[in-house]
Amino acid sequence: MKKGFLILSMLASLNGIAQTEVSGYNTTPGINAEGVTYFLPRTLIEISLEAEKEEYIPGEFSDYANKFLRVQGISNSPYTIWNIKGMTIKTVGTRDPQKGYTIKLKDKSIASLVELSEEGVLLSINQPVSQKPYTPSNDDTPKEKDINPKDFLSEEILSATSTAKMAELVAKEIYNIRESRNAILRGQIDNMPKDGEALKIILANLDEQENALVAMFKGKTSTQKEKRTFVLSPDSIDIEKNVLFRFSSKLGVVDADDLSGAPIYYSIKDITDLPQPIVDKKAKKVKGPQGVVYNTPGKALLKIYNNKEVFYEEELSVGQYGNTDVLAVDLFNKGATTRISFDPVTGAVRKIERE
């Protein structure tokens, strides 16, 4: 169903007194023979993890780095190291199939305009809102440009009969590039660039060539970021020390059941402290809620950690941890226009305006 306004006054032909009634869910969301069916949201927790891979590939002339470039401590062994760089946590809302209701309209009802999300979650009454459907975060990350240093080698270098000789010639080429750059910066060459932009392009090309050739001695260290998204659905039972995923310094993020990585745990505790609804046992029983149902959200304490550190520990508002309450029918049946907006994540009332 497309998000949009549902004109409930189309149902004005229903018989009865002027009031708004709500019953339990009995059909798909939207306009139906009995009124308009809607759902309250269920709060999900979305965890966006950012990890970084550092990969080192030794250069083919690493053994000659000290001899020709006077660079010491160059390793000729490759390695890969993964690190957790950060976590971003947010709450999102989705339809709670256990909390579906139908607004029943009778003649002259003021509740004439309801907006639902694409999932049928109640967003507003008599109040237009803008709500984008929930989609998990994008995990795509751009990759670094890969430059082949051999694209900058001359025929003489490529024709060298030994690795040592090739390394020597490449080193000379590096020194030539540095001399050319210094000459340009000092203005000691013929046909100097006529403008600053052209000078920047020439210097950038020289830097690119030098870096590519130096990497043949020093090796190449590249970094690549990876984003992974995990979605948790809190329930009424406290969750203690569940494995969210496992992490390996060599492999990065692995599945929760992959023992090649160390566990990253999460705990969710219901810390809601709301008064319980007062039930009048002597009151006459009525069928269904007598008004528009909404959530009074509770609180969850989310903790993400491993055996060494805590990555995240904060309180979050969760719709399913609280109570449901009912908006009085008088809001809609006294000849005034009442505008109400609801939180699409928790189902709480955001704002009530009456004219």
DSSP per residue, 293-339: EEEEEEEEEEEEE-SS-EEEEEEEEEEEEEEEEEEEGGGTSSS--EE
Longest dimension (CA), the chain: 102
Lowest mean pLDDT among 39-48, 95-104, 225-234, 344-353: 95-104
Per the prediction, the chain carries an average pLDDT of 82
Tens-digit pLDDT profile for residues 82-105: 999 999 999 999 999 999 998 776
pLDDT, mean of residues 106-131: 75
Closest C-alpha among 218, 247, 251 to residue 311: 247
| Secondary structure element (H or E) that encloses residue 172, with its range | helix 163-186
| Secondary structure element (H or E) that encloses residue 207, with its range | helix 196-218
pLDDT of residue 303: 96
pLDDT, mean of residues 286-313: 87
C-alpha 344/C-alpha 341 separation (Å) is 9
pLDDT of residue 224: 92
Structure confidence at residue 44 as a pLDDT band (50, 70, 90):
very high
Contact call for residues 224 and 55 (beta carbons, < 8 A) = yes
Contact call for residues 288 and 324 (beta carbons, < 8 A) = no
- Following CA atoms 322, 323, 327, 329 in sequence, which dihedral angle do they give, to the nearest 10 degrees? 170
Q: Is the pLDDT of residue 135 over 80?
A: no
pLDDT of residue 194: 74
The identity of residue 252, as a single letter, is G
Contact call for residues 241 and 265 (beta carbons, < 8 A) = yes
Closest C-alpha among 269, 271, 203, 279 to residue 241: 269
Per DSSP, which regions of 148-289 are E strands? 220-232, 239-248, 252-254, 262-270
For the chain, which residues make up each domain, given as ranges?
52-84+143-223
Contact call for residues 49 and 84 (beta carbons, < 8 A) = yes
Tens-digit pLDDT profile for residues 149-191: 888 888 899 888 999 999 999 999 999 999 998 988 888 777 7
pLDDT of residue 274: 73
pLDDT of residue 277: 58
C-alpha 184/C-alpha 196 separation (Å) is 12
| Segment 172-177 long-range contacts (CB within 8 Å, at least 24 positions apart) | 173/213, 174/69, 174/210, 174/213, 174/214, 177/206, 177/209, 177/210, 177/213
pLDDT, mean of residues 107-126: 77
**Does the global pTM surpass 0.75?**
no
Q: Is the pLDDT of residue 10 over 90?
A: no
CB proximity list for 185: less than 8 A, separation 6 or greater: 203
pLDDT of residue 330: 74
Higher pLDDT among residues 256 and 27, named by residue: 256
DSSP code of 136?
Answer: P
Higher pLDDT among residues 338 and 260, named by residue: 260
pLDDT, mean of residues 69-82: 93
Phi, psi of 206 (to 5 degrees): -65, -40
pLDDT of residue 29: 62
pLDDT of residue 6: 42
